[in-house]
């Protein structure tokens, strides 16, 4: 069986928001995934108000917090590539 992997697109973000200290991403494949902001160094020290200022960038491949100068790839989040362990 031949599979043309160029036709299989990885899911990308179409929307993102925060709920308290949780970041939620709506993916193009219909899933919503979320992660604790405290799993990333810069986000862990951000206020809840700063976390709300998340935007989707690079055609859905990254999240950006302009006021924090922080970028995180959607692919990395999906893969579970976090900087910090789960808080106790």
Q: What is the pLDDT along the chain (88 residues), one digit of tens a residue?
A: 554 444 557 889 999 999 999 999 999 999 999 999 999 999 999 999 999 999 999 999 999 999 999 999 999 999 999 999 886 7
Looking at the domain assignment, is residue 4 inside a domain? no
Domain-embedded: residue 6: no
Does residue 50 lie within any of the structural domains?
A: yes
Give the number of other Cβ atoms within 10 Å of residue 79's Cβ.
9
Contacts of 82 (CB under 8 A, 6+ apart): 35, 39, 40
pLDDT of residue 5: 47
CB 60 within 8 Å of CB 73: no
Q: What is the pLDDT of residue 10?
A: 81
Alpha-carbon distances, residue 3 vs 6, 8, 75, 77 (angstroms): 9, 9, 22, 26
Check residue 48 and give its pLDDT. Answer: 97
d(Cα 52, Cα 28) in Å, to the nearest integer?
21
What's the structural domain count of the chain? 1
**pLDDT number for residue 8:** 55
Strand 22-27, strand 13-19: pairing: antiparallel
User: Considering only CA atoms, which of 15, 57, 87 is closest in space to residue 65?
Assistant: 57
Q: Is 32 part of a structural domain of the chain?
A: yes
């Amino acid at each position: 069986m031949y599979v043309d992997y160029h036709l299989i697109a990885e899911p990308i973000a179409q929307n993102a928001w925060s709920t308290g200290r949780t970041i939620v991403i709506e993916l193009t494949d219909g899933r919503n995934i979320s992660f604790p902001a405290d799993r990333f160094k810069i986000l862990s020290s951000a206020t809840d108000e700063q976390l709300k200022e998340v935007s989707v960038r690079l055609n859905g491949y990254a999240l950006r917090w302009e006021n924090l100068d922080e970028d995180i790839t959607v692919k990395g989040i999906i893969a579970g590539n976090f900087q910090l362990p789960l808080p106790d």
